[in-house]
Chains A and B, each alone.
Chain A
Amino acid sequence: MKWSYMDHWRSQSPHGPIDQWESRTTMDRFLKQVAAVGYDAIDTFDFRWYQIMGEYGSVANYQEFVQERGLDRIVNTFHAADYDTRTYAPHIRETHANILEDFRVTMDRWSGIRLDNIIVMPATLYYDMEPVTEDKLKITAELWNKVGAITADAGVKLTCHHEFFCGIQSRWELDTFYAHTDPQFVNLFVDTAQHCIASVDPIEFYESYADRVSGFHFKDTRNHDLIGDYKRRPDSEIMARTTERWFYEMGDEDGLVDFENFIRAVARHGFEGYLSVEHDKANKLGGDHAESTAIAAWYAKNVLERVAAEEVAR
């Protein structure tokens, strides 16, 4: 099993909290910590392209910097778009030309390295899309079929990651969306915590679409959203009054995700790609990204790999 670590990171500096992109020195420390605890690779965000060009000169140069610290490569990039119903909204057909051009530019920028997936949140924030209707989901699917063709031309899979606060998060919305997308061009990226928060069983959901799944975010949560935080204005993710921190590392003692049975399902379906671990906002409520990253690596190596091996042996 190969494990990749998704970009999220904060550490302290003499001038306060920083991320790893501040300098080569901070990136060096980040990559060494990730490699030290046994991850094989990293994922990133493609909005980092500007910092990469400024600091390293090219994406390929940055990947060499990654590899010099004991990691295989950059596996996936997350396309975190600035959704806006005026200019960039998958359920609004008038914005599609703009979105398609964005992906043409993006794939060109990352053409210097091999990527497995480009990951997207396939819908706007929920409140910008509601009421979520089948017609809106059809229009959204129409867009991503076209985007998937662009990324496939570049040798990269388009894959959809469903934040609990996006316009495609309930089981009906998910099933409707995937029914209208082309399996050749639109894949699924299962985030265990996001689905769990949205009361979609990540194991059952994964089993239903295993042949379209091209990756995962392994992370945990302690809360289901039972009161509609997913459509809270202006923000659900870090401003919900009920829940100051949604995400925890896998292996968390109060976590809701059944990772052992999840990895059994992954093993049964013979998934062969990298398994990505993510610690989204893990520094909230006194959390620490470095510690969470080590604890998750411990859990992956000492619990999940053992369970997966048992499942394969059966």
Chain B
Amino acid sequence: MIRWSYAINQFKPQFDDFTRRRDHLRALRVIAASGFSGVELNAGSGRWEPLGNPQQMAANFGSVAGFSTFVSEAALDGVSSWFWDPSMRLQEDLTHGDDPTQPEGRDGLVAHARMFSSALAELGGDVLVVRPAPSMGDRTLDDTAMTALAESWNAVAAAVAADGIRLALHFDFLSPLRADDGLERLLAATDSSVGLALDTAEFTVAGLDPVAFYQAHADRVTHVHLKNAAAVDDLGEYTFPAPEFTVLRAGGSRAVPRWFTELATEPLLVDAPGFVSALVEHRYDGWVVVESDLSPHPPTSTMLNGWEVRYVLGPISADRAGARL
């Protein structure tokens, strides 16, 4: 069964935004009013990230359970998932990011993953969504690095399973896994317990067909980010230095204003109904997190996507589910 959640990341465009309780309350109510039952959190660090990690939740809501109550009071069922980019620093324990290609740092990676997974379990969530490798930049993933990467994520998947949490690798269009068939190699090298978070827009911007990829790897897809794409990185600009800024935000050499858009905003590079049909065909059972990261108008994006889920995508899953019976 598909469960619909919304990613909260769009509500915090800059590090000093979205810090106050009122902001959080209003964002959660917008998500709930738009018909979603869950919310996906985004990992962060420091006192301006009240929802970023368990320590900050405790500082702001008394405890992780206190934040869970706050979510419930907004009429949401709970937290679906938590997105974590391991390369982020954690001021809370004075670490400077984990690199999963480095075996000597694996214990730290696993410990941080457990920090998030244990809190996520307390919040009623299911999936720890991670960025599998740092941005491309000048990095290449040779066989040694790929082996280390696979072993790291195997270890993390086993560790978070102790909390009842599934691991899902979130491939994005800045990833070095775009080169040399990296994503396929990583999936082949990891255990089946290592799932994939398929982000329809990230795949599309990377020049991959999300429906075809899903059809080929449905058994590995344990999480979905559903969003539309407005452009394709067909110039391979993910190899630029610091692509999180130069490409993702600044839009690369073409100054693409938004790579990601709402599900029915032209141009429709992602076939959302087609993708949801494929999920239903394969009896997908999990969260579909609708996302509109870097939206210039988060409430509007949420509401427009809520309309699509209510009137277009939800009925597809209901019709198909009925047809199976």
Chain A residues in contact with chain B, CB under 8 A? 11-12, 29, 32-33, 35-38, 69-70, 253, 288, 290-291, 293-295, 297-299, 301-302
Contacts and interface: CB of A to CB of B under 8 A. Distances in A.
A33 B75 contact: no
Given A290-B297, A295-B30, A301-B33, A37 B303 contact: yes
Contacts of B296: 12
B324 interface: no
Nearest to B265: A29
Given A295-B26, A302-B75, A38 B300 contact: no
Given A32-B304, A33-B307, A290 B75 contact: no
A4 to B, nearest CB: 16
B33 A70 contact: no
A302 B31 CA distance: 13
Contacts of A288: 297, 299
B307 A297 contact: no
A293 B303 CA distance: 10
Interface in B6-44: 22, 26, 29-30, 32-35
B86 to A, nearest CB: 33
A253 B26 CA distance: 11
A299 B25 CA distance: 12
Contacts of B33: 37-38, 294-295, 297-298, 301
A37 B297 CA distance: 16
B139 interface: no
A301 B22 CA distance: 19
A35 B311 CA distance: 10
B306 interface: yes
Nearest to A37: B33
Contact of A36 (B29, B75, B304): B304
Given A37-B34, A295-B26, A298-B29, A290 B307 contact: no
6 contacts: A33-B300, A36-B306, A69-B311, A70-B307, A288-B299, A295-B30
B200 interface: no
Contacts of B299: 288, 290-291, 294
A291 B307 CA distance: 15
Contact of A291 (B30, B75, B306, B310): B30
Contacts of A293: 303
B302 interface: yes
B307 A32 contact: yes
A109 B296 CA distance: 38
Given A36-B310, A301-B33, A291 B304 contact: no
